[in-house]
Amino acid sequence: MQDLKFSMKAEIYRMVFDTSIEQFVPEKYSIPVSLCGEGRDSLLYDSTTTSTLNIPLQKLDTISSFVLTTTIQVDTNYVTTIDTIDFYHTNEQEFISLECGCIVTNSLVGVAQTTNRIDSVVIVSPEVNLQSGNNIKIYLSQR
Amino acid sequence: MLSIGNCLNAQFSGMGGTSNSSSSTDEERPPKPKVKQFRGDVFRGLSIHADIGSPIISLLGGNTRSYELQVDVNLYRRIFPIFEVGYATAEKELISQINYNTRAPFFRVGVNYGLLKPFKDDETSRNVKSYPFVGVRYAFSPMWYNLENIVLDDEYWGTSEVLSFNNQFAYSGWIEVVGGVRVDLFKGLTMGWSVRLKTLLHTTAPDKSHVWYVLGYGKSSGMGFMFNYTIGYTFYSGKDTKETK
């Protein structure tokens, strides 16, 4: 039986100062990240340099917790920081067909995170399904 | 070329096949007047039949049970509008141990066309009580079905759960082409055989595989074939019983 897998899409941003408008504006931030589900051994990303993440939410639980490890350059040093993000969501199970089996679509209702490197996490599109684009934006601080 | 033309002329004249001579043959044999088949009383009888073929086949084993009744009206001894109603159940373990079960009624409306002419060429009436027929049906089934024992694995998180989707509704419709024979055994006691070729036209189920077995139709995955053996009683209209063979 095939299994249709949806995953939440996340983009990593940092705030940079735009001198032309004299304001901080978000900019996509491609950095080495490691990501794994809390309590899981298997890494979803292993020091992968990227600004976009595909994050599998739990199908059978309504809280999905992840450990995000980021490495950024501060001055001349590389600093690795560990954060935890908890996603609160609802799950809807739907039988598609005998071949494809059952799919689960998630709907994000909230998010909580530590703020070691993460500044904030914003839900931009709560429905996690085949059609949805980017679901969340993760803003990192550069302290 | 000239010699071939002469040759052909000689051949036709030898057959006596000029156009003048053929028209004189037509005049000798005037076309038969067409016997009007739809005349007299419109209503000629009503039949009620029960399908005994499907229950017998069910007793031999299998995953389905089907029971159905047929009511048809005899018009001009040639046209037989028919209504069929049935009730069926189906249960099967599908791939990946998914259990499918359903029970629901189904309905068919259509018409049979008798292949025997009620009036012979000499205008005498034929007592059409046993006849071969062809027909068409539109059939539909509003059905509720259960899909059970669906295993949902969350591979990354290492969790698993067995799910059931119960009381799912689907409305499915199909057409049938029917051919068969109706035989009067004894004073209105009638029986019939028919074969049906079916094709599913529509279903409200999200995917055909949701409704593995459409009641009254069969497996939704392809064309259906069905054999009916029916037995019942025909109430002939008074006039029809007096007609001679």
| Domain ranges for chain B | 40-242
At B8, the pLDDT band (50, 70, 90 cuts) reads very low
pLDDT in tens, A95-115: 887 777 788 999 999 999 999
Say what the pLDDT of residue B98 is: 87
- Read off the tokens for A77: 């040093």
Least CB-CB distance to A101: which of B150, B154, B159?
A: B150
Task: Report the range of poorest mean pLDDT among B12-16, B59-63, B148-152, B155-159.
Answer: B12-16
Mean pLDDT of chain A, nearest integer: 91
φ and ψ at A108, to 5 degrees? -75, 135
Is the CATH number 3.40.50 carried by domain B40-242? no
- Identify whether A131 is part of a domain: yes
Q: Residue A77 pLDDT > 80, yes or no? A: yes
> DSSP assignment, residue A100?
T
Say what the pLDDT of residue B76 is: 85
Whether B94 has its CB under 8 Å from any CB of chain A: the answer is yes
Number of domains in chain A: 1
Whether A41 has its CB under 8 Å from any CB of chain B: the answer is no
Q: Residue A127 pLDDT > 90, yes or no? A: yes
Judged by CB atoms closer than 8 Å, whether chains meet at B155 and A3 is answered as yes
Q: Residue B223 pLDDT > 90, yes or no? A: no
B71-100 mean pLDDT: 90
Q: Residue B1 pLDDT > 70, yes or no? A: no
The whole domain housing A14 covers 8-140
Say what the pLDDT of residue A94 is: 87
Task: Report the range of poorest mean pLDDT among A50-59, A85-94, B26-35, B142-151.
Answer: B26-35
| Choice between B31 and A26, residue whose per-residue pLDDT is larger | A26
Rounded Cα distance, A51 and A96, in Å: 32
Q: What is the DSSP string of A10-73?
A: EEEEEEEEETTTTEEEEEE--EEEEEEETT--SEEEEEEEESEEEE---SS-SEEEEEEEEEEE
- Identify whether A12 is part of a domain: yes
Whether A109 has its CB under 8 Å from any CB of chain B: the answer is no
B51-62 mean pLDDT: 85
- Identify whether A1 is part of a domain: no
- Identify whether A97 is part of a domain: yes
Mean pLDDT of chain B, nearest integer: 82
pLDDT in tens, B141-180: 999 999 999 988 899 999 999 999 999 999 999 999 999 9
B224-242 mean pLDDT: 82
- Identify whether A85 is part of a domain: yes
Residue B157 distance to chain A (closest CA, Å): 7
Task: Report the range of poorest mean pLDDT among A55-69, A118-132, B121-135.
Answer: B121-135
Whether A138 has its CB under 8 Å from any CB of chain B: the answer is no
Say what the pLDDT of residue B238 is: 64
The three-class DSSP label of residue B217 is coil
Say what the pLDDT of residue B6 is: 44
Say what the pLDDT of residue A28 is: 94
Judged by CB atoms closer than 8 Å, whether chains meet at A96 and B207 is answered as yes
- Read off the tokens for B122: 């000499």
Say what the pLDDT of residue B114 is: 92
- Identify whether A95 is part of a domain: yes
Asked whether the beta carbons of B61 and B33 are under 8 A apart, the reply is no
- Identify whether A101 is part of a domain: yes
Say what the pLDDT of residue B200 is: 93
| Choice between A130 and B196, residue whose per-residue pLDDT is larger | B196
Between strands A63-74 and A101-113, the pairing is unpaired
